[in-house]
Structure 1
Amino acid sequence: MFKAANGNKLILAPIDLTKPHLHILDIGTYDGTFLVDLSNNFIPSSARQTDSILGIDLFDAHFPAHPSEGMRFQIQNFLEPWPQELLGSFDLVHQRLMLAGAGRNTRANLTQTLRLVKPGGWIQLVEAEQAIGPNDGPAMQQFLLLMGELFGFIGVPMTYAHELAQWLEEEGFEEVETRVVPIPYGCRQPDAELREKGYSSMSVGLQGKLKHTKMIPGGLKSLDAAELEMLAPRLIKEMEERGAEYVMRYAWGRKPVA
């Protein structure tokens, strides 16, 4: 869905993926889908080398049993210090929907991650704007209220994605750019297969968020128990009938050559 919304592109940073011996890192890789797609469809085989593409995640349960050529996976908590051998070693670092996991330390965590980029290399960040489309309905509006309370609980400003480009510039990165990308859901998603995946991903994601609401002292303020119970089916119905958008912000920049 992200790739389709960007005109079939995975990487918006202007890195030459045909350049030999690139080293690429995907943070929060889960099952490696992003890296497999990138490797198979965007990087020519002539540009790959042994162990040049790395995916990290907190658990290895979903790592591919038989990684593609030049690809490896390892366990790493992105909140902890990076292994010394990884620092300054990547031509491209990709991180999507991860920074909120750092809680109040989003900026400090990003500073730590930027140390992975080699001089002349790029980082691409993708984070939710926590915004919906102007024509979205009441269920999506309640979903946004729910997200606001969850972000308040973990101490993360709802608008932190707006700061990504500024943070990169303040860290000395060059050629910094940013792009706001609405991801269409439901009947606004023209691809039938992606439309079904959108329903599934929204349902699964919402169920996880509903579990986290139980940790908020005193419960939610924006939705009562009945509204919370019906939010998931209402949201899917609304997506089917009028569609929805969940807005993402891409930001990228290049580390200066020393």
Structure 2
Amino acid sequence: MSTETTSIMSSATMMVFMDKTKAHDDNVSEQVRLEDQHETVVHAMGGKALYAPINLTKPGLRILDSACANGRWIKDLIAASQVKHEYVGTDVVESLYPSPPPEGVHFLNQSIKEPFPEAWNATFDLVHQRLVMAAAGPERTPTYVVQNLANLLKEGGWLQMVEVATTPLPQNPVSQNQYIDMLDTLYANLYAGTKYKKSNLWSTLPEEMKAAGLKNVEKREVIVSYGAAVADPYIRERSLRTAVAGVPNFLSVLRKMPRDIWKSEWDDLESRLYTDLKEKGGYTKYIVTWGQK
């Protein structure tokens, strides 16, 4: 595949999600997917939406959730805080924002590909972003996105970013590896030859944060369980739904790519993945990275 073709396709998966979401005003299915994904991931994180060691008991903090979608991460932080803070959520799909917004929360349209308002620089105590780096390419590099977010922090403020690792895990039964291999193939082809260079979008984040002037940079691996691998029945069902919800969109991207990429076993991947995860369970790895201004 040529570099030009790969560059054009590099954000195709994310665009499929966004276009599909924008096409439906009520976004019922997307709201369900977002809620399921959030609860599955936070459960794997030990019930904590935040690893960065900021003191949330100090009132009046200014907190940004970049690419906030429906604002669920903000809602969790509000519930975990005993004092009032100012929250800002930004995204490009306005119809996902809760209406009316929770007290103290403002939702605004803002792409991670574009500079944030200059007046926001050095005004936030905490900036969070999860699972959206794929939307930055090919126009923007990880360096651009991380620097943009770091610029928003006050001295002493924290940046936390969460991305998924697409490397197959030894815990997975062989049948699940076909799903993980699909993601590896997708990302490897989408990002090979582009500014990203690597398929795992989290892989350079610690170095990018340090280069942006952040200190006390740390990362933690989080193994997210699905289906039969989840003991809690409430989370188990939600993990199953979120695991398969994105498959049609991934496949729609792959079908537009050169035919030598396509694997015949992907034809019924959605139903087969659901059955495999329900009967045997499966795992993915998330990486949480944080640093301080």
Q: Which amino acid aligns with 2:229?
A: R
Q: Name the counterpart of 2:126.
A: 92
2:71 aligned partner: 32
Match of residue 94 from structure 2: 60
2:59 is aligned to: 20
Percent of pairs with identical residues: 30
Q: Within 2, Cα distance between the matches of 1:172 and 1:75? A: 27
Q: Distance in 2 between matches of 1:219 and 1:119?
A: 50
CA distance in 1, matches of 2:68, 2:87: 11
Aligned to 1:214: 255
Match among 113, 134, 157 for residue 121 of structure 1: 157
Does residue 80 of structure 1 match 2:114?
Answer: yes
- Does 2:202 correspond to 1:150? no
The normalised TM-score by structure 1 is 0.90
SS in 2 for 1:125: strand
TM-superposed deviation, 1:127: 0.4
After TM superposition, list the pairs within 5 Å mapping 1:34-53 onto structure 2.
Answer: 34-39=73-78, 41-44=79-82, 46-48=83-85, 52-53=86-87
AA aligned to 1:240 is: K
Corresponding residue for residue 131 of structure 1:
167
| RMSD after superposition | 1.6
1:170 is matched with which residue?
211
| TM-aligned CA deviation for residue 219 of structure 1 | 5.2
Q: Is the 8 A contact 1:132 1:244 kept in 2?
A: no
d(CA) in 2 for partners of 1:139 and 1:82? 43
Q: Which runs of 5+ in 1 are unaligned?
A: none
**Equivalents in 2 of 1:29, 1:20: separation in Å?**
22
Which residue of structure 2 lines up, in the alignment, with residue 107 of structure 1?
143
- CA displacement at 1:27 relative to structure 2: 1.1
- Give yes or no for the alignment of 1:244 onto 2:282: yes
Moved over 4 A (4+): none
Instruction: Quote the offset at 1:108 in angstroms.
Output: 2.2
Question: CA contact under 8 A between 1:153 and 1:216: conserved in structure 2?
Answer: no
Residues in 2 aligned to 1:172 and 1:84: alpha-carbon distance in whole angstroms = 18
SS of the residue aligned with 1:160? Answer: coil
Distance 1:59 1:159, change over 3 A: closer
Contact 1:133 1:244 in 2 (8 A): no
How far apart are the structure 2 equivalents of 1:131 and 1:150?
12
Contact 1:213 1:219 in 2 (8 A): no
Could you state the TM-score of these two structures normalised by the residue count of structure 2? Answer: 0.80
**1:133·1:245 contact (CA, 8 Å) conserved in 2?**
yes
Give, in whole Å, the separation in 1 of the partners of 2:246 and 2:270.
Answer: 10
